[in-house]
A and B are shown apart, each in its own frame.
Chain A
Amino acid sequence: MADKGLRLYRVHTPTPPLRQNGTLPDMSLALIAALPFLGALFPGLMIRAGRDACALAAGSVTALSLLLLGMQAPAVLRGEVIQTRIDWLPALGLNANFMLDGLGLMFAGLILGIGLLIILYARFYLSSRDPMGQFYTYLLLFQGAMTGIVLSDNILLLLVFWELTSLSSFLLIGYWKHLPEGRQGARMALTVTGTGGLALIAGMLILGQIAGSYDLSVILTQKAAIQSSDWYLPALILILLGCFTKSAQFPFHFWLPHAMAAPTPVSAYLHSATMVKAGIFLMARMWPVLSGTDAWFCIVATTGLVTMLLGATIALFKDDLKALLAFSTVSHLGLITMLLGIGTPEAAVVAVFHILNHASFKAALFMSAGIIDHVAHTRDIRRLGGLRTLMPITFAFSTIAALSMAGIPPLNGFLSKEMMLEEASQTIWFGNPWLIPALATLAAMISVGYSFRFIGQVFLGPPRHDYPAPPHDPGFGLWAAPALLAALVIASGLMPMLTFGWLVDVSASAVTGTAITVKISHWHGFVPALWMSLAAIAGGLILALFQRPLNRIWLALPRPEAKPIFDAVINMIRRLAHTLTARMHNGSITRAFAIGTVTMLAAGLYAFASGTHTPGTRALTPIEPVAAIGWVMLMAATFAVVLYHHNRLLSLVLVGVVGLIVSVVFIYLSAPDLALTQISVEVVTVILLLLALNFLPKQTPRERTGRRLRDGAIAGAAGLGAAALIHALMLRDFAFPTVAAYHIANAKSGGGGTNIVNVILVDFRGYDTFGEIIVLGIAALVIYALTETILRGGPANDRLLNWPKPQGRAGDRHPMMFVVVARLILPVALMVGVFMFLRGHNLPGGGFVAGLVAAITFLMQYMASGFAWAAARKTINYHGLIATGVLIATATGIGAWFNGKPFLTSAYTYVTVPPLETFELATAALFDTGVFLTVLGAVMLALASISRLATRAGSSTNTRPFDIDPDAKPAGKS
């Protein structure tokens, strides 16, 4: 078996490593992504120590992750790609491979850096009524998932993280559980992004199949193979569906504004730097292999353009500050998408640059919207205005951020917008040279319009007297984060090369796969972009000034509302599912069984009819008289069970007969182990059913003839099918050499036992057995739990308490002869159990059989002297027995690790201790002990549980082993 240990190694490409391997821990990349997940535990606990401690815990985790990332940064900036590879499921191609290149560095930096600011902001934003521990836990989970996406090298791993972001963002968006909008928004976000995620999974699987690997580092080198594949277009469309839903691209943009029902820190985080950027990230990540084709350009650039225009237009007319920002986010995401869609390296550089800029100003704007909401108790633009003098600090950083959003020089938004217009001006849309530049300019113009409107209608103008609450600047804690971001907006605007240039270089190099050095400057000369930019600013100013009259026109226009449409679609699907479920399953298990059986039969018939057949070649085994007699008995008993099933006791006895004959069949057909197991299980099962029957009606009512005929037909057909199938199988030789041959050849040499079946159970397929005893243990514990529930009180318990008293039909309840024999047999039967156990490895027997034999021995004591009498004398706890058994089996399995072998590899040796004969010591025997104990414990616990019902129902408790007192003198004739 292959060594399944963790293998870690770091690969530095493309330049040779500049520092020694091992100067940093090998796990560091995985740790960056794992830390937030681990840290998610802390806030929930630390909240008991206060809100500051809680926020500090969350912040420390994020800061630590950021620090680890920073330690990797120098190498990445030198152009290295850092990798951590952990084999997880290599057979599936799913490995925990992480990779850090420029793009990952930029995104991870954004996620963790802005995350840190959000944690600070949220500390002061959340009110004392909000459960802060939960908030930070959700936030860290989300942060970990996002970091995981951008650091994954393996696309399957990436998909796992992708789904985790959908789930954790659901928790964050629905954080205010008491708000219906919050819950609905969360559901909508999950539905849309989750559905996109499904498409993405399909697309990624196709991509992986084409490239022959699920590792990005391999996939990214397979451009030619991928783009020439017939599956390129389906893969592209599916992957883009995932990206577009996540990044709120038209027509999936509608979920994002509804997600604004979340607390503002969540909006600021999800919609500036993280969640919606995941789709952008993936497009950038896949850019080297997917872009450059007509399909890519046509879908991505067009979608981006439409989204940019549509988002900006809606944003212009939104009165809710957060809705305005949400649609502006949609628009800017469209812009980035369009740039990626253009497909030239230059456009990709601008896209990367704008990702940084957008994150910085949009996070600041969301936070300031939150501040205004926080102090003025409204974020409706119509109720605001004139805040400039009342909230000067907020005014300052909000205006800087908004001007950047508008693309006013010298702020960073201007730089990337100018570069975007430049790229747009050079892009020809299917032979049309002016369409993209014109529409891009229009979108930029509207963008200026809503940015100016944001500043003008919120901050400028005279102060009002009817604010819901008196606005004022908040405390430092709340404005520190947005102010810092605004400072960054200025700094990166003034000194783009110093602040962002280096990051854009490595990041764009990673996106395009070629070394890129950007030159960002404010002045490009009198290029078309300059005129487009000027036109946008002038037009935007006009739009902002005439926003109110335009708004009236807008309101008069028919506009499709996304939410009712979405709700209608969801309701339709729900109704469809409901109808379908109701049709297929009306609560009748019988009907479901019947449908299932008929379906299987139909599938079998179809398979038979559509295949080709040759007659069997195997010679028949001759029928001996004894076999014929057994067969007649089996058939008769089975018929009788069906015939007499209304009489439950009789049918139970008949089932016992069937079971006994089946075990005889096993021994006749060379399966002694099966026979032993079957016969002991049979005994236990019949006892169990007898105990249960005590509390169930003794008769089964007859059913309608039509129904019986119908069921008879179904059952008959199924029986015929099963018989025909096994008959056909038995008459043919194996199509392939069987695994059994390997087992037969290696049982002695590999497993050290001559009973091949037992060696398979404890060695070759030890895992099966291990799982099985756990299932058995769980079943017994569930039975115990059910008993506890029944006995706890309620109708079941009442019914038991009112159970009619036994009518004494049995005479002696505990006949003396039975009691004495049971006692005498106890040591002998236990010895048989030990014998069965010890010889199991080489001859029929083993842990299962031994456990059952021991259980039967104890059961006899219960039967002989009554449950309560025996229970009072037992010192072993059955729960403990099950646990001990499983633990012994586990410990044996783990022991193999210390031998450097996989779990449950057995070892054996031969020992000679004079004067005994040479005997074998095998770890398999230890494992078998675990099996033995679990089986014993499970059987006893199950039966003892049912017996407790009898005690509750009023069976008298014996104080003596049997009813007759042998010491008493005979009291004459009675």
Chain B
Amino acid sequence: MSTALVTDLTIFVLALLVGFEVIGKVPATLHTPLMSATNSIHGIVLAGALLIGVTAHTVVGYILAFIAALFASANVVGGYVVTERMLKMFRRRPQPQVQAQPHPELDGKGRS
């Protein structure tokens, strides 16, 4: 067994254990954003997709590189944006729904 493989396996196992430890502490309230966040993290496969480009010199190579880059970037960009969108909604106190359009009748009697 090569040293590189042993190193890779070590990293994999330790990362798994760290993952169990860290994610076990995430409260149920945040499980959807968590899943969406981990979704964007596996978008790191974009790095793998881009590295295809180093050796791709054939039509098949280009096609695979294109699809992989497309999939992975949709994954990573969409994942982060939607996670951010969700997390923004989690507030400790209720806030007026729309700040851009002031509702005079709602002002001053927010529920906080």
Chains A and B bind each other: no
Chain B interface (Cβ < 8 Å from any Cβ of A): none
Chain A interface (Cβ < 8 Å from any Cβ of B): none
